[in-house]
Amino acid sequence: MYATMQQLVQQAKETPLHKVVLENECQLSGLTQQQILEKFRQRWQVMYASAHKALEKPQKMIGDLITGQASRQKQYSKREGFLGESTNRMMAMAFSGSEVNASMGRICAAPTAGACGILPAVLITAKERLNSSDEELLQALVVATGVGAVITKNATVSGAEGGCQAECGVAAAMAAAGVVYLAGGSAQMCADACAIALMNCMGLICDPVAGLVQLPCSFRNASQSVNALASADMVLAGQTSVIPADEVIEAMYKVGKKLPAEFRETALGGIAISPTAKEISQQIFGEIPQI
């Protein structure tokens, strides 16, 4: 059993990291490793589908604030842009997850519904780049969830409690660790990738326009997907976090606790109270949400 990133890394010196996480899940659930892996396969199918559903068919939702983002980004990816076709397509898949979520479609919270586009978009992109097998992909997904579980235990993944750093930021941390593992990185490298991804978005607030999980949530799904890959690349290049992952997680939690209520999913701060956002809220609901 493990409760911290340090313990997770320590136990992985004797056993592959994904197996450490699986064994822990077996103890907690009473299920066998094969039963747990089958659940992971089922969840991955949901993730994969949500990452592709809106690429061709924009999803309808209340307000339609983000309808069509995924298809626009996918079309743009063919032009390569500044970040190249692969990264732009990854952002399109992250947008797709957000669109499916906002339209009340089927998604897999990873770690939350508001951040659901990040992990699948990043892992799909990494799998394609590395030509990884389905088995290797599942192992990376297991590692990502193990990281998410540690953060959930010691901090928070709630935007209402810790801001968007705790939702999209944690999703980026999970994805970064998963990508590093998929690329053959060590457990310590996975921990470093987690820490770097969290540091990159420390203090990120949650300010949904009209109180809907659409804007700026979808843009943060896309941008934090890039953060995840960038953090993974830094670690694979030999960079280290310097500050241990557990300390970064603790810092993120403390920062989130100190964020004013206006910046924690109440739609009472940030861009949520901009003039245009207020107009949007009135158009959709007829009034500006009050706390």
Report which of residues 289 and 235 the model is more confident about.
235
33-282 placed in CATH 2.60.40: no
pLDDT per residue as tens digits for the range 236-247? 999 999 999 999
pLDDT per residue as tens digits for the range 190-215? 999 999 999 999 999 999 999 999 99
Any idea where the domains of the chain sit in the sequence?
33-282
Residue 28: exposed, middle, or buried by beta-carbon count in 10 A (0-12, 13-18, 19+)?
A: exposed
**pLDDT for 288:** 54
- How far, in Å, are 61, 101, 162, 164 from residue 75 at the CA level? 21, 21, 35, 28
Does the reported pTM lie above 0.95?
yes
Using DSSP, state whether 67 is helix, strand or coil: coil
pLDDT per residue as tens digits for the range 22-56? 999 999 999 999 999 999 999 999 999 999 999 99
Rounded to whole angstroms, the Cα distance separating 190 from 289 reads 41
pLDDT per residue as tens digits for the range 114-140? 999 999 999 999 999 999 999 999 999
Nearest CA-CA partner of 260 in 250, 270, 249, 252: 270
Written as one letter, the residue type at 19 is K
Asked if residue 178 lies in contact with residue 123, where contact means CB atoms within 8 angstroms, the answer is: yes
Average pLDDT over residues 149-173: 98
